[in-house]
Amino acid sequence: MTERQEPSRRRVLKGAAVAAATAALGIGGTYPAEASDASVTATSLDGTTSITMSLTGGSLQWSARRNGATAFAGSAMGLRLSDGTTLGTDAVLTNHQHWHVDSAWQPVYGRNATVLDTYQEMRWNLRDNRTSINFGVQIRAYATGVAFRYVLLDPGTAAIAGELTTFVFPDGTLVYSARDEDDYHPVAPGSIPLTGTSSTDSGPLTDLPLTATYNGELIACVCESGRVNYPRMMLSSVPGQPNALAAYLMRHTARGSGSVQTTSTVTTPFATPWRAVVIGSTHAELIDNAELVLNLAPAGALTDTSWIKPGKVFRCNLTTADGLAGADFAAARGLQYIEYDSGWYGPEHTSTDATQPISAIDLPKVISYATGKGIGVLLYVNPMALSSPDSLFARYRRWGVAGVKLGFINDGTQAMTNQITAWARTAARHRLLLDTHDDVRPFGYERTYPNWISLEGVRGNEHFPTATHNVTLPFTRNIGGPMDYTICYGQSRDRTTNAHQMAMAAVYYQPLDFLYWYGTPSMYSTPSKWPGLPWFDAIPTVWDRSRTLAGSIGEYVAVARRSGTTWYLGAMTNETARTLSIPLSFLGGGTYTATIYADGTPGSSPYQTPVAVSTQTVTSSTTLNVAMAPAGGQAVVLSHG
């Protein structure tokens, strides 16, 4: 059973192999039948990463290390029930198990064609001394990070009011705090700013994903995965503990609309979401380790996924003529979808019938014309028009619509989590893609329902943020999952160069990629004025292989992604000009033609910096000098042969 097998096969060690591993860890048979003091460590199979769970005087704690360095010091674990019971402060250990898994799986789409799923897991069953409630804790160690979750074991129901979970960082740590769709700010863990109103969750609160930088190169990102029938987690500064953040289960929706839920009632046995920490030994490695979130999510629930097609999208103005022109533009420029955004059925905050287009749009004509050219149509819907999603989505499918973009999706409470996952299931039943916008956060559910292809939950590019913001996102929000970040190529309000906007298509993982936001087909009618068009024509949105080549949060990033035999390399910098030396050792054998879209001589504003196109022959032994202007970037196509 311990022989090396093909990566696509699962290996679970049991029996004698488990006994041998247990003895090696020094835990096998060492506990009394019930113990209030114990400790166990799960270690990734490559030996780099570990998570330790301890029970001392009946109280649970966890800690984590990476290559011998502390990533998280002793941090609390446990649950708080609505009647005041705290599980994890006075417990005894009743049973323990452990094993390891070495497997791989193929996502419907993703950063890579194959995802490695390799970890060691430890499970403790415990009993609360005061109530005799039985519960469990599961910990996992991957080469890419660590994770843990709680399990309520007794059959019945339970009302969960909160978690005791904390994240205690070493001295000198900075965390990148952002709430709702604000900018990121690096602060000490104890200095999260006070935010919120009387109708929202209030306090020193920050959203997930939450990235922490340490003294040295170590970097970590706290995420959640597998959030089903449970509120969204935020993190809060802890009075008197300057290095700690505490789990906070949201009681309000993100912007305060909807019912308040102070507790979440669940049917037990019940497992909470995974608290996942993606860890990188370097900033660049953090990006490549993001698939940890997927590995922790429930496996795919759909038997047929052949209809799920990622791709590039063009937003059309709200007329029939613009829809027809958009379909022509999409077909000519290698895009897969067009979209009618808010307003296509009337003012979105007052119109509740998303089946009646405004008079300016002949929707059947546009859908027929677009689909005849192989272009799918996406429609925006405000939740006010979602009183009957099953009938609405069924009608859209009859119309020939390919997917829906839901706006003003503000999750937070258990009820909103259930609403969003229900929308994903309903959309899947009617073979519709789903893109959710506004304040919704990822939790790996694109693995379970891959038709939920994208979500926002970020300060969007349509707000023309700074270059610093743009080079923070690969290390923060995008770690958690797909990110709908509209690319605004050629817009005079951009605070970045056009090459910087182009590079986003490779740097960010966004399987449904809205291009040319604020643009019109006529704007690009003279292609010679827009040298970036061939880059956007060619680049796909999902990948066979991804490699982050360089990066430092808030400063710069360079990512290469392969589709077939062609690599697409995107690099971006903040407001500081810089040149990166990028070895092309990731290339295969033979020669490649590098088509380079670089910043030209800087203009008086970043937007006015031209794109300079050149070509050169390269091999895997070439080091590419990637020069970028202030707020600039570079996009490179590496074609084999």
> Three-state SS for 390?
helix
Residues above pLDDT 90, as percent of the chain: 93
Q: How far apart are CA 601 and CA 612, in angstroms?
A: 9
Q: Are 167 and 72 in contact (CB under 8 A)?
A: yes
Q: Which of 102, 124, 100, 116 is nearest to 13 (CA)?
A: 100
DSSP state for residue 215 in the 8-state scheme: S
Structure tokens at 594: 């590098």
pLDDT the model gives residue 32: 62
**Is 8's pLDDT higher than 60?**
no
Q: How far apart are CA 235 and CA 189, in angstroms?
A: 10
The whole-chain average pLDDT of the chain stands at: 94
Q: How far apart are CA 272 and CA 137, in angstroms?
A: 10
Using 50, 70 and 90 to split pLDDT, how confident is the model at 575?
very high
pLDDT the model gives residue 257: 80
pLDDT the model gives residue 13: 32
Q: Are 122 and 138 in contact (CB under 8 A)?
A: yes
Lowest mean pLDDT among 30-39, 561-570, 617-626: 30-39
**Is 12's pLDDT higher than 90?**
no
What would the pLDDT profile of 591-621 be if each residue is shown by its tens digit? 999 999 999 999 999 999 999 999 999 999 9
Using 50, 70 and 90 to split pLDDT, how confident is the model at 10?
very low
What would the pLDDT profile of 139-179 be if each residue is shown by its tens digit? 999 999 999 999 999 999 999 999 999 999 999 999 999 99
pLDDT the model gives residue 33: 72
Q: How far apart are CA 612 and CA 599, in angstroms?
A: 6
Lowest mean pLDDT among 12-21, 60-69, 520-529: 12-21
Residues above pLDDT 70, as percent of the chain: 95
pLDDT the model gives residue 561: 98
DSSP-derived pairing of the beta strands 556-563 and 592-599: unpaired
pLDDT the model gives residue 258: 82
Structure tokens at 578: 């810089």
Which amino acid, 366?
Answer: V
Q: Which residues contact 607 (CB under 8 A, 6 or more apart)?
A: 491, 492, 493, 494, 495, 496, 497, 498
Strand partners, 107: none
What would the pLDDT profile of 367-400 be if each residue is shown by its tens digit? 999 999 999 999 999 999 999 999 999 999 999 9
Using 50, 70 and 90 to split pLDDT, how confident is the model at 107?
very high
What would the pLDDT profile of 510-529 be if each residue is shown by its tens digit? 999 999 999 999 999 999 99
pLDDT the model gives residue 255: 87
The helix, strand and coil proportions of the chain, stated in percent and rounded to the nearest 5, come to 20, 40, 45
What would the pLDDT profile of 576-594 be if each residue is shown by its tens digit? 999 999 999 999 999 999 9
| Alpha-carbon radius of gyration of the chain | 25
Write the secondary structure of 525-572 as one string of H (helix), E (strand) and C (coil): CCHHHCCCHHHHHHCCCCCCEEEEEEEECCCEEEEEEEECCEEEEEEE
Using 50, 70 and 90 to split pLDDT, how confident is the model at 331?
very high
What would the pLDDT profile of 269-306 be if each residue is shown by its tens digit? 999 999 999 999 999 999 999 999 999 999 999 999 99
Strand partners, 273: none
Query: pTM to 2 decimals?
Result: 0.95
What would the pLDDT profile of 419-467 be if each residue is shown by its tens digit? 999 999 999 999 999 999 999 999 999 999 999 999 999 999 999 999 9
**Is 27's pLDDT higher than 70?**
no
pLDDT the model gives residue 504: 99
